[in-house]
Structure 1
Amino acid sequence: RVYVKNIDEFSPITFKPVPCALQLKPCNRATQSTRICRSNCYKLLNACLDESRLSRVKGAKAAKIVEVCAKFSSPDEESCVSLDPFLEAMGENVTEQYTMPCSPDPCGPAKFCEVNHHCSKEEQGRRCDPTECKPGCPVGQVAAYLVPTDAFVPIPTVVSGKNNCYRICQCKARIQECESLYCVPQDYCTILPDSGIDMPVTAEALTMDPSSTWHSENGGRHSTQSSRTTNDLPTSGGFPSSYSYPPTRLPLQSLRHGSALFVKCNLCVCFGGEITCSKRNCNDSMDVSEPSFFQLPCYCEPKYLPVCTYTGLTLPNECIAKCLDLKYVKGECNEIESCSQPTACNVCEEDHQVCLLKSDECNQHQCVQPYGCQSLPDDPVCDEEGTTHRNLCRMNEASKRMAYKGRCLYNCKDTAVCGVDGNTYTSECHAIARFISVDYEGPCQGFGIINNETGEVEGCAKDLVCPPLLTSTSCAAFIPPGACCPVCAGAIRILYSQKQIMRYQKALNTRGSGTVFTVEKVMKSLTRHIEVAECALYGHLTMEMDLLVLIKSTLVEPTDLHHQICALEAEKLAVLIQRGSPRIVTDLSTSILVYAKVVHYELQAPGQAPSLVSLPLPTTVIIAAFLLIHLAQ
């Protein structure tokens, strides 16, 4: 029992934020802790405990404070929620806002709500509906979460003698057609003793089993237990530690399924016995604290002679394609007319896409069914005249040509633009429809390399004019790999599992499904988790063979709050992937994602090393509520 003073008579202004914070339950965005800090608890109880009703024993007040705070607060000052920002004066009235049109859910049962992130791109004079209710299927008997119609869903299945087995089902009127079966071995990953890899020792590298062993060629058994434990190392929440130590030649690392470490400057993750790493080119002086450093794979020369790989990925030159062991033809992928090549299609439309499986030859066109349009599902396309059609078949009936997939967008620049993926798009709307962030206006003329000494971008056209960045204190400016211009966006880099894609495709091939894993499908699935209407998701496959996702404001003049919220949306998405959220793993397209790392940085002057953006809290209560609703899911 705790006796406290009447707060109406004792500093009510100090205590009003407490029930607000407890009601909102804000959480630390890295650890998802929802408990207040121990120092706040001590301070509050020391001020409000009614000493007249406590025991007269010396030290009773201090003992009671320690007892109560041990139950309701966190001793870790870095992973708790501080009440201090709630006690700060706002200074001026807050007029800006963001909207979450799907919260509360406006759709009825058996339908899920999808946000229209491009209302500003709607045709002037037409009503812009901020949401769309689409049919879906609940995952499980009591689950409220729905997946879209026709989506494939991994459903856990009990198989005698095996663990982590799933059936691939499909959403029709309900979850059904669950014939395909696959199992994911949660095996340890090992790096052989003779691999010669120098690895910085990080907290994540040592979260594995310290008694792990390896077998030498002569059958001997050796322990790899390190004398340094994770308690000796600083950590950075759920994300890889930015602290590095002198590289240590380890005889072997045995990594648990789902664990990550840095191999020099590359992030690696163990998934199902497979080690997946980014493909950054590390020099001997680099460590994991140099996130901005970018060097071409295999020390290729910075020549701009673009090539298109058979997976649909545009690369700056053939040296990089050879380095990545990808077949290619000359030119940007968007320039290649796939329909002009021998094809079985009577009616053909260009459909450029990037496939994620390296062994796939990625089809770059789509055959259009010339009749029976009424039996085909809705799959909107926009024609070259700016009219939306229900599907390709309907567009063909109207004798039109496709500009891009999806509903028509408006209020875009009509001239060609260069995307951050190195492709030239016919218009800004064309790039947006492909989930590609625009780098600059005009056709692509080069690719950028950040000089690690000056911090400046080199390799781009000298007369290139970058879009202006708003001078916002909360602009999380980031220059995508190979791009020329910085963008204000939340940014995460994602590793995906080639082996997991191969498991899925093997299972799906047994049922005659032609499902292909593409970047666009992954981005379309991830977009459903961006619930703030003023933030839009963009993403592409980089030449370092990881996925870069940018989340930036769609407003012409975004405020600090909008920059903050979009950065938080990116961090939320990274946490969902990191923690294997059901929202991620129940969608086949996103269940291949095995690791995510936040990489947006504050814009620095040339020559300064970038640092992780620190988001100020001008509207602390709003941000706290946002963290509760989204990061804790």
Structure 2
Amino acid sequence: MHCINNISKPAAISSHHSKYNACCNKAPNAKCKESCKKSLSRNKAAEDIVNSLRKGGCKNLPPNDKLFQCLINSDHEGPRNRTKLGVDAAKKYCCRKAQSEFCKNKCFKVFTVDFSSWQIFEEKCLRTSEGDNLAQCLDEVEEPCELGCDGLGFCDNFNNRPTELFRSCNSETDLAARSDYGDWLRRGVIELPMVKDLYIRNSTNCHPITWKTIACTLQLKPCHRHTQTTRICRDDCKRVLESCFDWERIRGDANKITIHKICDILAPQNADEGCNTFQSFFEHRDPVEEASITKPCKNHPCRNNQYCQVNKFCSPDSDCDHHQCTPGCRLGESTKFMVPAGTYAKLVTNMMKNEECHMICQCSEQGHIENCATNYCKKQELCVSGGDRIEHGSTFYMGCNLCSCYDGEITCSKKQCAGHGVDIADVTTLPCNSTAEYSPVCGWNGVTYPNFHLANCFGLFENDYKNGTCESRDPCNPNPCPISDSCIPKRRVCLHSVYKTCSQYVCVKNKSKFVVDGHINCTVQPESTVCTTSGETLKNPCSMLYNAQELAYHGPCMNCVDEGKEVCGADGNTYSSSCSAMARLVHIDYYGPCINVGLIDNIPKEQCSNVVCPELKQKNCIGYTPPGACCPVCGGAVNLLYSQKQIDRIMEISLNGELNESFTVEAVLSALSRKIQVAECTLRGQLTIEMNILILVIPSINNPSDLQMEACVLEAEKIAVLVQRNSPQVSTELSLSILTAAIVVHQEVSNSAVILQFPILCLFLVITSLGI
């Protein structure tokens, strides 16, 4: 029943319970039938219904049981999406991690149309050492790892752990652990997938705290920081099995049931560098004294058909809603995995040996998946470099540059490496060994290059760029819109290369076209919030024009104490205010106009001597100096590679360019920003002069505590692991599906220079392939 609970909560059962009464007649026994009817009559929340069934006579129902299937299949609050989505479209992405064609096909079938095959799939493909990566991926869809564990009663030794990751730390799993623990001690037996009865040995070597910790670990699912896996350590597995179980009483063939084989499932051998030990949970942690971290979406405050995200426009210490509930679309009939309205989802439609087929659909404002594009297929081709064959989905280094192989395409960052026989003094550290002169040009793609040498380095010709920063150029002069429409600047950085066009504006229809029943009505226009120069937030540019106001920036108005003062963004653009930079999720490098190009170096040295850098939020902290920027910043930092080939292929099949905005830096940053669950942290980013996407997760408050600073670093690392594992958390959203590799780059910094790098974590993430 725990498995059913994981699969169905909180979406699988609607709040309209009367239509489910007939399902109770499909219960396998009288006790379960009675429990079902009582549950439907007494409970309103889906989680309460599932809990009530579990506590009644329905404890051991498999997911393919007729009762469970009836409850799932009766829940249709909107149009049926089975032909588009199946049982769980997100989990279908995990099928690529299956270790055999049989398991890949069975997985795809289970999560498309035939959940009745679950037991065979579970036994043959998940409950084996080879099925560990697949099982971890499925868990990741259902319960992503999130920071913090607190408020537990039975599993109180897991409390006060604000910067540790857990998949399922809540009151429900706390009660389930208590139930398991009591059941084990009462019966003296534990049931594992391979063994029906595993008898507990009455030994002083097995203190009750051991059983309690095991029960809580299995339910709360602590995640390893650098891999987000929930595997237990093999040494712990062997020690517990040897010391705590009576092997003489174990039923079955002793040749089949061994400690080694059981640990192959519970603690696979490849987990030595990414496992969770029981030892760390044997002792209680003291309450944290310093300022805490806030996770507004942790307890699912939104309705089942809504997507929850942290309200980045609400300061953690302000009296406002710290979360936002927006319409969303569930990616399947029996999943709680959701994408927000307005986004495009990339869904797997077929999965063959070396080929995957996808369709691209939009999540409407009404919470329906629609506007699905024609299927397109891609082969997972090998890459070739210097005669070496490189597996699709792997990451590696060429010289000092991080590279990834994706569908036959090798993508690398563009650092300037010091070659053999080259004097280090002759290396500028900038790509193509370009000069550090700041004489900016604006490329057709919306990128500001510090000088034309760097523009040429990245393949732009003289007619592909104009003098000056992109932010300084007026895209509405001359007016590119139809003669009766108004032009509003909306700058973006495009990632495609198939067409050398990247719109930097939006066209708004003339006032006369807003007339509805004789009155001007801007509500008929799409909602696209803008902030005016008078500090007023309006729903769309139509309202702004109707009220004769001017644009300050896109998005809600923010409270900026330095409003009106120019700032230099880390992307090399001078912005009219810090709010204008933050509205584009750009980190502020320093105050005043941009005047310099920062060198790229991990060796402590003075850079940008004519620039005054802002004080760090902590004197010495974990942070990073963005490539080409002058000043370090405290927080987590991750470099991301993306697949140009994948972007261009999708752009070529899309109709009328409707997917253009999905492949912008702004779209990628906005989607990644939704992954940040800590209110005290915010995401910033840019396309760097090394042509990778840099994300910074930095404190959103002025005086962060050590705990809050660590939380921001961990949030950045969490995103890096999701990208590196090619998790469905990123693969299902079109804007993020283009990301192919991630490397953590934050290090210890001070106001003067970079002090110390952290190579171990970087190396660990780089050698982990996308297929994990």
The answer (yes or no) to whether the contact 2:428–2:434 under 8 Å persists in 1 is: no
Give the aligned partner of residue 757 of structure 2: 610
Give the aligned partner of residue 202 of structure 1: none
Question: What is the SS of the residue equivalent to 1:493?
Answer: strand
Alpha-carbon separation, structure 1, partners of 2:389 and 2:684: 35
Q: 1:369 to 1:114 in 2, by over 3 A?
A: farther
Match of 2:500 among 357, 360, 363: 360
Match of 1:177 among 371, 387, 393: 371
1:16-31 matched pairs, under 5 angstroms = 17-31=213-227
Is 1:470 aligned with 2:618? yes
Give the aligned partner of residue 59 of structure 1: none
Q: Which digits, 9 at most, give the CA deviation of each residue in 1:21-45, with x for residues without a partner?
A: 4442212233443233344456667
Q: 1:16 to 1:351 in 2, by over 3 A?
A: same
Question: What is the SS of the residue equivalent to 2:670?
Answer: helix
Q: Which digits, 9 at most, give the CA deviation of each residue in 1:199-224, with x for residues without a partner?
A: xxxxxxxxxxxxxxxxxxxxxxxxxx
- Seq. identity, %: 38
Give the aligned partner of residue 559 of structure 2: 410
Q: How far 1:450 moved relative to its partner? A: 4.0
TM-score, length basis structure 1: 0.76
Q: Which digits, 9 at most, give the CA deviation of each residue in 1:506-525, with x for residues without a partner?
A: 12136876646211111111
Question: What is the SS of the residue equivalent to 1:403?
Answer: strand
Give the aligned partner of residue 370 of structure 1: 510
Match of 1:325 among 459, 468, 471: 459
Alpha-carbon separation, structure 2, partners of 1:272 and 1:366: 34
Alpha-carbon separation, structure 2, partners of 1:511 and 1:609: 45
- The RMSD of aligned alpha carbons is 3.5
- Larger relative contact order, structure 1 or 2 (CA cutoff 8 Å, min sep 6): 1
The answer (yes or no) to whether the contact 2:416–2:430 under 8 Å persists in 1 is: yes
The answer (yes or no) to whether the contact 1:602–1:613 under 8 Å persists in 2 is: no
Question: What is the SS of the residue equivalent to 1:367?
Answer: strand
Alpha-carbon separation, structure 1, partners of 2:395 and 2:258: 42
Give the aligned partner of residue 488 of structure 1: 634
Moved more, 389-398 or 508-517: 508-517
Alpha-carbon separation, structure 1, partners of 2:500 and 2:681: 33
Give the aligned partner of residue 186 of structure 1: 380
Give the aligned partner of residue 272 of structure 1: 407
Q: Which digits, 9 at most, give the CA deviation of each residue in 1:497-548, with x for residues without a partner?
A: 1111112111213687664621111111111111222211111101111100
Is 1:283 aligned with 2:418? yes
Give the aligned partner of residue 164 of structure 1: 356
Question: What is the SS of the residue equivalent to 2:663?
Answer: coil
Question: What is the SS of the residue equivalent to 1:262?
Answer: strand
The answer (yes or no) to whether the contact 1:312–1:352 under 8 Å persists in 2 is: yes
Q: How far 1:462 moved relative to its partner? A: 2.6
The answer (yes or no) to whether the contact 1:489–1:551 under 8 Å persists in 2 is: yes
Q: How far 1:389 moved relative to its partner? A: 0.4
Q: How far 1:149 moved relative to its partner? A: 2.6
Q: How far 1:404 moved relative to its partner? A: 1.0
Alpha-carbon separation, structure 1, partners of 2:479 and 2:506: 13
Q: 1:283 to 1:413 in 2, by over 3 A?
A: same
Alpha-carbon separation, structure 2, partners of 1:95 and 1:159: 50
Question: What is the SS of the residue equivalent to 1:98?
Answer: coil
Q: How far 1:103 moved relative to its partner? A: 2.1
Is 1:349 aligned with 2:349? no
Alpha-carbon separation, structure 1, partners of 2:321 and 2:574: 30
Question: What is the SS of the residue equivalent to 1:33?
Answer: coil
Q: Which digits, 9 at most, give the CA deviation of each residue in 1:272-311, with x for residues without a partner?
A: 222211111212269xxx9xx9811221111111111111
Alpha-carbon separation, structure 2, partners of 1:606 and 1:517: 34
Q: 1:355 to 1:412 in 2, by over 3 A?
A: farther
Q: Which digits, 9 at most, give the CA deviation of each residue in 1:303-360, with x for residues without a partner?
A: 1111111111111111111111222111111111121234235422222211112343
Give the aligned partner of residue 9 of structure 2: none
Letter in 2 for 1:560: D
Moved more, 527-536 or 542-551: 527-536
Q: 1:71 to 1:343 in 2, by over 3 A?
A: closer
Alpha-carbon separation, structure 2, partners of 1:176 and 1:66: 49
Letter in 2 for 1:337: D
Moved more, 416-425 or 338-347: 338-347
Moved more, 605-614 or 113-122: 605-614
The answer (yes or no) to whether the contact 1:121–1:411 under 8 Å persists in 2 is: no
Question: What is the SS of the residue equivalent to 2:718?
Answer: helix
Q: 1:546 to 1:160 in 2, by over 3 A?
A: closer
Is 1:107 aligned with 2:246? no
Give the aligned partner of residue 83 of structure 2: none
Moved more, 481-490 or 14-23: 14-23
Give the aligned partner of residue 530 of structure 1: 676
Q: How far 1:416 moved relative to its partner? A: 1.8
Alpha-carbon separation, structure 2, partners of 1:104 and 1:340: 49
Q: How far 1:601 moved relative to its partner? A: 1.7
Give the aligned partner of residue 448 of structure 2: 314
Structure 2 unaligned segments of length 5 or more: list them.
1-197, 250-256, 515-521, 763-771
Letter in 2 for 1:339: C
Q: 1:40 to 1:145 in 2, by over 3 A?
A: closer
Question: What is the SS of the residue equivalent to 2:226?
Answer: coil
Question: What is the SS of the residue equivalent to 1:304?
Answer: coil
Q: Which digits, 9 at most, give the CA deviation of each residue in 1:104-132, with x for residues without a partner?
A: 2222233211211232299x7xx421112
Alpha-carbon separation, structure 2, partners of 1:188 and 1:64: 39
Q: Which digits, 9 at most, give the CA deviation of each residue in 1:360-401, with x for residues without a partner?
A: 322222222233222122211111111110011111111111
The answer (yes or no) to whether the contact 2:589–2:613 under 8 Å persists in 1 is: no
Letter in 1 for 2:677: E
The answer (yes or no) to whether the contact 1:437–1:538 under 8 Å persists in 2 is: yes
Alpha-carbon separation, structure 2, partners of 1:167 and 1:50: 50
Question: What is the SS of the residue equivalent to 1:476?
Answer: strand
Is 1:588 aligned with 2:737? no
Moved more, 576-585 or 506-515: 506-515
Question: What is the SS of the residue equivalent to 2:375?
Answer: strand
Alpha-carbon separation, structure 2, partners of 1:444 and 1:511: 34
Alpha-carbon separation, structure 2, partners of 1:503 and 1:4: 60
Give the aligned partner of residue 194 of structure 1: none
Match of 1:34 among 208, 217, 230: 230
Moved more, 484-493 or 65-74: 65-74
Q: How far 1:436 moved relative to its partner? A: 0.8
Letter in 2 for 1:553: P
The answer (yes or no) to whether the contact 1:117–1:534 under 8 Å persists in 2 is: no
Alpha-carbon separation, structure 1, partners of 2:263 and 2:333: 40
Match of 2:345 among 153, 175, 181: 153
Letter in 2 for 1:396: L
Letter in 2 for 1:320: L
Letter in 1 for 2:737: S
Is 1:498 aligned with 2:647? no
Alpha-carbon separation, structure 1, partners of 2:338 and 2:610: 49
Question: What is the SS of the residue equivalent to 1:129?
Answer: coil
Q: 1:161 to 1:149 in 2, by over 3 A?
A: same
Alpha-carbon separation, structure 2, partners of 1:543 and 1:549: 14
The answer (yes or no) to whether the contact 1:121–1:409 under 8 Å persists in 2 is: no
1:205-224 matched pairs, under 5 angstroms = none
Question: What is the SS of the residue equivalent to 1:394?
Answer: helix
Question: What is the SS of the residue equivalent to 1:339?
Answer: coil
The answer (yes or no) to whether the contact 1:102–1:114 under 8 Å persists in 2 is: yes
Question: What is the SS of the residue equivalent to 1:568?
Answer: helix
Give the aligned partner of residue 426 of structure 1: 576
Q: How far 1:467 moved relative to its partner? A: 2.4
Q: 1:417 to 1:85 in 2, by over 3 A?
A: farther
The answer (yes or no) to whether the contact 2:744–2:761 under 8 Å persists in 1 is: no
Is 1:119 aligned with 2:314? yes
Match of 1:302 among 436, 446, 458: 436
Alpha-carbon separation, structure 2, partners of 1:540 and 1:305: 19
Q: How far 1:67 moved relative to its partner? A: 8.3
Alpha-carbon separation, structure 1, partners of 2:489 and 2:322: 30
Moved more, 274-283 or 364-373: 364-373
